[in-house]
């Protein structure tokens, strides 16, 4: 700070001398910082999960105008046309890399609850696993094509009593056996159950797929593929990069978290800033004679302003560091909630990123600045003669 | 003959309380020579402290001329006045006014932070000054670890460390026991005799006033002699 001539030790030790007040004020700010950071971490966790779900090279095709796979329908003819597009990558054996998928919601009862929760059950083609390299089996084995076998995501396995290997689930007038658990790297697939697409469609008496997922031969052929799909009148489909699709899926939940969090943070932070202002006002009042003395010695008004603002910024910084410290423990927590865009369960964790650390500390300092500004201004504006009389 | 160090002509100071004007100093004229040691005396409300504050540049006159070392300080801006005080005035207060969170050393360093001196130069000045007031041993003590007399000596060190032209003392012995008061007065006398510091001291203690070369009495905002 340019006007900063008053030594930092003076500022720091004044905070240290009033340990209890400093501690209480900083705690109030730490609490707000904690809430603020928690919201950002939750949102970051959600985005990470959704973005991690999609891969940039994959393109998801759903019926034009539908926003989710649940609402969408892709006919077998359309799927065949897509399979033949030149932009679709080929596997080593020369097969097109496409997974024709069907999605239904089934109701399962969560451990410790008696109401059912919607769980996404996805029918996938044999190529489905290959198109999603982040998905790997961690227990049991993959379902056999043509059988009534299912594999469940890690979050489903953990949260639902009935989703353990060897157990059977009854839906669509059939018994389905769970034969494996897969880990999808904390993506949304972790909250899904997968089975053979043809078996699931038969059981649910469906004629159409819900979506088709293809891998591009190369990432830059996306535009030409979109153009080809648009040009073919039989393909009344929207093509979207898989990553973008899942990001869009989380938009409403993300907005909900952010708005709710921001409202909470704003209300809390007003309280914390008032707390900081009260602390700083009393600090100014207690040191009126000191301020007068400093001014008499030749320190200018901006120096006094800077000294008290720094003190308040320090308070904010301490609150910020403490709040962030406690927020780091949130990373151990995984939230499982309803994504109301897809009406299905979604599990994600609080995620701390360097960006959140920086934003949170800036937020804490801003609280300190706003709370300390008026008291500091008062300190710098006192008349020397009046303040010396307070001795 | 050289012009006086402090030249006061028809100085008036009026406070406004509500919409009422309260005169504190009425038409004061006074010269203070370089190297003088003046005690300003008078009952409370006589305006002696106000006169001291005006000379020290921490308050502004309502009317009149206040020239110090040839400079009319009533014409300076707020910021210029702060810089002027830093280089020309040393303050000694009744209650010492040390920063409680700073050590004796750091308190004496405060006014030097407004100069361009390097850290090593500051250290040299501080150690020499604290030696002059006999507190070399207590350098790292905080004010609450020092007696009243010792605290006032730290304050004197702080006042003279920048080598100012004028020392202004507001009841410097008012809060001290007899022995400490005598020590402080002897120290001021020595600063006046040996270093030629011009000292202006407000006091209502007759014993303290005797340390000065000259006494000036004020009553109801007017000079009685001088």
pLDDT band at A222 (very low <50, low <70, confident <90, very high): very high
Within an 8 Å CB–CB cutoff, is residue A388 touching chain B? yes
Task: Tell me the pairing of strands A98-109 and B222-223.
Answer: unpaired
Q: What is the pLDDT at residue A273?
A: 93
Residue range A99-143, pLDDT digits in tens: 999 999 998 888 888 888 889 999 999 899 889 988 999 999 999
Residue position matching structure tokens 């790292």: B140
d(CA B164, CA B198) in angstroms, rounded, equals 9
Q: What is the mean pLDDT of residues A260-267?
A: 90
- pLDDT tens profile A358-370: 999 999 999 999 9
Rounded-to-integer distance, Cα A382 and Cα A360, Å: 34
Q: What is the pLDDT of residue A66?
A: 87
Query: In this predicted model, what pLDDT tens digit does every residue of B94-120 receive, in sequence order?
Result: 999 999 999 999 999 999 999 999 999
- CATH number for the region B34-63+81-221 comes to 3.40.50.300
Query: What is the reported pLDDT for A149?
Result: 95
* Chain B neighbors of A300, CB-CB under 8 A: 78-79, 82-83
pLDDT of residue A177: 95
With bands split at pLDDT 50, 70 and 90, how would you rate the model's confidence at A246?
confident
- The Cα–Cα gap between A156 and A167 comes to 13
Q: Which chain B residues are closer than 8 Å to A14 by Cβ?
A: 101
Contacts for A266 with CB less than 8 Å, ≥ 6 apart: none
What is the average per-residue pLDDT within A345-361?
Answer: 90
Average pLDDT of span A225-254: 89
Q: How many residue pairs from chains A and B have C-beta atoms closer than 8 A?
A: 75
- Strand B214-219 and strand B20-32: the pairing is unpaired
Higher model confidence: residue B102 or residue A340?
B102
* Res. B33: pLDDT tops 80: yes
Question: Band of the pLDDT at A2, cuts 50, 70, 90?
Answer: very low
Say how far apart CA A259 and CA A264 lie, in whole Å.
Answer: 9
Look at B78 and A384 and tell me if their CB atoms are within 8 Å: no
d(CA B83, CA A237): 77
Distance from CA of B83 to the nearest CA of A (A): 6
Show the beta-strand stretches assigned E in chain A.
58-63, 98-109, 116-124, 136-140, 149-153, 168-171, 174-183, 192-196, 211-215, 237-241, 334-339, 344-349
Is B226's pLDDT higher than 60?
A: no
Note whether A230 contacts B: Cβ–Cβ < 8 A: no
The residue of chain B with its CA nearest to that of A13 is: B101
Contact B58 A384 (CB under 8 A): yes
So what's the pLDDT on residue A380?
A: 94
**For B57-65, what is the mean pLDDT?**
94
Give the pLDDT band (50/70/90) at residue B225.
low
Q: What is the mean pLDDT of chain B?
A: 93
Give ∠ CA B71-B76-B80 in degrees, rounded to 5: 105
Task: Supply the ipTM of this predicted assembly.
Answer: 0.94
In chain A, residues 289-328 whose CB comes closer than 8 Å to chain B: 289-290, 292-301
Mean pLDDT of A159-166: 89
* CA distance linking residue A272 with residue A278, whole number of Å: 10
Q: Is the pLDDT of residue A341 over 80?
A: no
What pLDDT does residue B1 have? 57
Distance CA B130, CA B137 (A): 9
Query: pLDDT confidence of A337, banded at 50, 70, 90?
Result: confident
Average pLDDT over residues A176-195: 92
Confidence check: pLDDT of B38 > 80: yes
- Out of A10, A14, A385, name the one closest to residue B58 (CB): A385
Confidence of residue A339 (pLDDT cuts 50, 70, 90): confident
pLDDT above 90 as % of chain A: 66
Asked whether the predicted pLDDT for residue A3 surpasses 80, the reply is no
pLDDT at A342: 66
pLDDT above 80 for A371: yes
Inter-chain touch B99–A6, beta carbons under 8 Å? no
Asked whether the predicted pLDDT for residue A343 surpasses 70, the reply is: no
Residue of A nearest to B158 (CA): A297
Question: Residue A338 has what pLDDT?
Answer: 75
Q: Is the pLDDT of residue A351 over 60?
A: yes
Count of residues making up chain B: 226
Report pLDDT digits (tens) over A48-76.
888 888 888 999 999 998 888 888 999 99
DSSP, collapsed to helix, strand or coil, labels residue A140 as strand
Question: Does position A344 have pLDDT exceeding 80, yes or no?
Answer: no
């Amino acid at each position: 700070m340019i006007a900063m001539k008053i030594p930092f030790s003076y500022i720091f030790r004044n905070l240290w001398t009033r340990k209890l007040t400093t501690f209480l004020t900083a705690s109030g700010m730490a609490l707000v910082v904690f809430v603020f950071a928690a919201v950002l971490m939750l949102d970051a966790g959600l985005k990470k999960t959704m973005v991690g779900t999609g891969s940039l090279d994959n393109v998801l095709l759903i019926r034009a105008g539908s926003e989710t796979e649940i609402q969408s329908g892709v006919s077998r003819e359309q799927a065949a046309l897509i399979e033949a597009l030149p932009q679709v990558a080929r596997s080593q054996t020369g097969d097109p890399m496409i997974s024709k998928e069907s999605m239904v919601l089934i109701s399962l009862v969560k451990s410790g609850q008696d109401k059912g929760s919607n769980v996404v059950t996805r029918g996938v083609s044999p190529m489905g696993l290959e198109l999603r390299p982040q998905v790997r089996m961690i227990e049991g084995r993959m379902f056999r094509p043509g059988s009534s076998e299912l594999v469940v995501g890690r979050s489903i396995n953990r949260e639902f009593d009935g989703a353990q290997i060897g157990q059977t689930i009854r839906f669509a007038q059939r018994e389905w056996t769970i034969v494996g658990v897969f880990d999808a790297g904390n993506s949304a697939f972790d909250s899904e159950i997968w089975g053979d697409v043809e078996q699931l469609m038969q059981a649910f008496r469906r004629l159409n797929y819900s979506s088709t997922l293809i891998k591009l031969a190369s990432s830059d052929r996306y535009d030409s593929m979109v153009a080809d799909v648009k040009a073919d009148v039989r393909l009344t489909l929207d093509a979207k990069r898989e990553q973008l699709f899942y990001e869009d899926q989380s938009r409403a939940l993300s907005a909900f978290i952010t708005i709710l969090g921001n409202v909470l943070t704003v209300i809390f932070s007003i309280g914390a800033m008032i707390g900081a202002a009260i602390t700083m006002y009393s600090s100014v009042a207690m040191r009126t004679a000191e301020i007068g003395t400093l001014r008499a010695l030749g320190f200018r008004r901006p120096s006094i302003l800077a000294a008290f603002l720094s003190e308040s910024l320090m308070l904010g910084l301490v609150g910020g560091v403490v709040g962030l410290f406690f927020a780091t423990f949130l990373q151990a927590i995984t939230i499982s909630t309803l994504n109301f865009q897809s009406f299905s369960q979604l599990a994600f964790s609080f995620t701390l990123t360097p960006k959140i650390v920086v934003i949170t500390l800036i937020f804490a300092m801003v609280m300190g600045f706003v709370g300390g500004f008026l008291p500091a201004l008062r300190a710098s504006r006192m008349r020397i003669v009046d303040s010396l009389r307070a001795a | 003959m050289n012009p006086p160090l402090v030249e006061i002509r028809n100085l008036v100071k009026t406070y406004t309380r509500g919409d009422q004007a309260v005169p504190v100093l009425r038409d004061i004229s006074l010269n203070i020579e370089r190297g003088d040691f003046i005690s300003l005396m008078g009952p409370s409300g006589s305006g002696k402290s106000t006169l001291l504050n005006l000379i020290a540049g921490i308050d502004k006159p309502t009317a009149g001329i206040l020239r110090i070392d040839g400079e009319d300080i009533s014409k300076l801006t707020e910021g210029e006045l702060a810089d002027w005080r830093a280089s020309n005035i040393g303050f000694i207060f009744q209650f010492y006014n040390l920063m409680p969170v700073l050590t004796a050393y750091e308190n004496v360093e405060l006014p030097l932070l407004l100069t361009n001196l390097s850290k090593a130069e500051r250290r040299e000045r501080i150690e020499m000054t604290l030696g002059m007031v006999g507190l070399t041993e207590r350098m790292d003590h905080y004010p609450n670890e020092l007696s009243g007399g010792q605290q006032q000596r730290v304050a004197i060190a702080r006042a003279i460390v920048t080598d100012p032209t004028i020392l202004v003392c507001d009841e410097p012995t008012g809060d001290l026991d007899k022995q400490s008061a005598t020590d402080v007065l002897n120290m001021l006398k020595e600063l006046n005799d040996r270093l030629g510091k011009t000292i202006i001291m407000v006091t209502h203690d007759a014993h303290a006033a005797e340390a000065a070369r000259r006494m000036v009495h004020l009553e109801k905002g007017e000079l009685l002699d001088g």
